[in-house]
Amino acid sequence: MSDMQKGLLQAVCDVLPLAEHRLCARHVYANWSKRWRGNEMKKKFFCCAWSTYKEQFNDNLKALEKVNKEAATAVVSYPIKGWVRAFFSSRCLSMVVDNNISESFNAWINEYRYFPIIKMIDGIRIKLMEKWAASERIVTSWKGNFSPKCTEFFDTNRYLSTKCSIFFNGDDGYEITEGNDRHIVDLSRKLCTCQAWVLTGIPCQHAICAMYHAKVEPTTQISKYYHRDTYLASYRTKFQPIRGQVFWETHKYGPLLPPPICKLPSRPPKKRKRTEEQGRRLNRCTTLSHAMSSQVDDNNASGSAPGFERMSKKGTVMKCSVCKTAGHNRSTCKEAPRSSNPHP
């Protein structure tokens, strides 16, 4: 993290000291991977980010040190409380370590991002109005009382609970063994030492195993945040339709004008600067599209299929169609027949 980014983060913490500040693990990896590359390094990085308790994070960090000690030192230079799940608070009940929500929203409103402010806001309002109505219809079509993602996560944990062994102390303590790992569950406090339950609000496999032993239905312990009624309540307040601009209320004061435009030198960029990792993915996609375009239409006069870029001819050996000799083409061949009247 640069000194400027650290300064901005500290400034936000000073203004909002009680708010939790997280970093996007994908962007942290994009900066970190500029020097430390490879699939093995990427796997070790996200194993650290996805750790749910401190001891698991330390084990994954040691595994990264075995691959490259300098890389492990560099990765902890980023504030681990911002991108490692093990250090997240339990207030928002989310184990997401990236900022895909904001990225998806920016792509969703991309068609309005460069409009004037009023037209931009009005376009986003219309999209949200339709989106909320569609989302409410989807929620009412759920088969169960909880979201499909929550149900899928819970079913996976319930299956894993069958592979756990349980030891009960006769009070509130349950000792759950899973393979070579062992965790403690306290049902009265809704705690498990793996922290997955407290981070997500969905009982982990260790807690589900203890609940079955205590004759408690695990689905009753899922957080209300994932319930159908909570989702419907979030869409209860609708965006109301409004009339056209000619019906808007007018004032005796003059219109509010935008500030004077200060044109900067050079052309303003329209595309964001991609990181090295994103550039490598883009190059792989371009290479694949070139390979596909060369196989679509061999009879195409231009040599490329519609919708694809033409392949580069760099490195291609030129061969004459008249004398069959490499190094020149028909237009410069000395053996090619010449017209007696080249300028009709």
Over residues 195-209, the pLDDT tens digits come to: 999 999 999 999 999
Domain contains 195: yes
Query: How many structural domains are present in the chain?
Result: 3
Q: What is the pLDDT of residue 282?
A: 60
56 plus 73 within the same structural domain: yes
Q: How far, CA to CA in Å, does 210 sit from each of 88, 147, 182, 308?
A: 25, 24, 13, 57
121 plus 165 within the same structural domain: no
Three-state secondary structure call for residue 318: coil
115 plus 72 within the same structural domain: no
| β-sheet with 191-192: strand ranges across | 165-168, 173-178, 181-186, 191-192
Rounded to the nearest angstrom, the gap between the alpha carbon of residue 75 and the centroid of all alpha carbons in its chain is 20
85 plus 22 within the same structural domain: yes
Q: How far, CA to CA in Å, does 158 sit from each of 12, 50, 152, 192?
A: 40, 20, 10, 15
Domain contains 286: no
Residues of the chain with pLDDT under 70: 1-6, 270-315, 338-344
Q: What is the pLDDT of residue 298?
A: 46
Q: Which amino acid does the sequence have at 269?
A: P
Rounded to 10°, the helix 205-213/148-161 angle is 70
126 plus 166 within the same structural domain: no
Q: What is the pLDDT of residue 313?
A: 65
pTM score: 0.68
Domain end: 181, 212, 230, which one? 230
123 plus 45 within the same structural domain: no
22 plus 75 within the same structural domain: yes
Domain end: 230, 264, 296, which one? 230
Q: What is the pLDDT of residue 315?
A: 67
Q: What is the pLDDT of residue 310?
A: 53
Terminal Cα distance for the chain, rounded: 71
Domain contains 320: no
135 plus 183 within the same structural domain: no
Run of H or E residues at 30: helix 25-32
Distance CA 42, CA 39 (A): 5
Domain contains 74: yes
Domain contains 303: no
Domain contains 211: yes
Among 151, 159, 271, smallest CA distance to 212 is for: 159
117 plus 79 within the same structural domain: no
Domain contains 319: no
Q: What is the pLDDT of residue 296?
A: 45
28 plus 58 within the same structural domain: yes
85 plus 119 within the same structural domain: no
Q: What is the pLDDT of residue 297?
A: 45
Domain contains 289: no
Domain end: 230, 254, 269, which one? 230
11 plus 57 within the same structural domain: yes
Q: How far, CA to CA in Å, does 152 sit from each of 20, 144, 159, 306, 318?
A: 28, 11, 11, 42, 59
Q: What is the pLDDT of residue 192?
A: 94
Domain that holds residue 12: 3-92
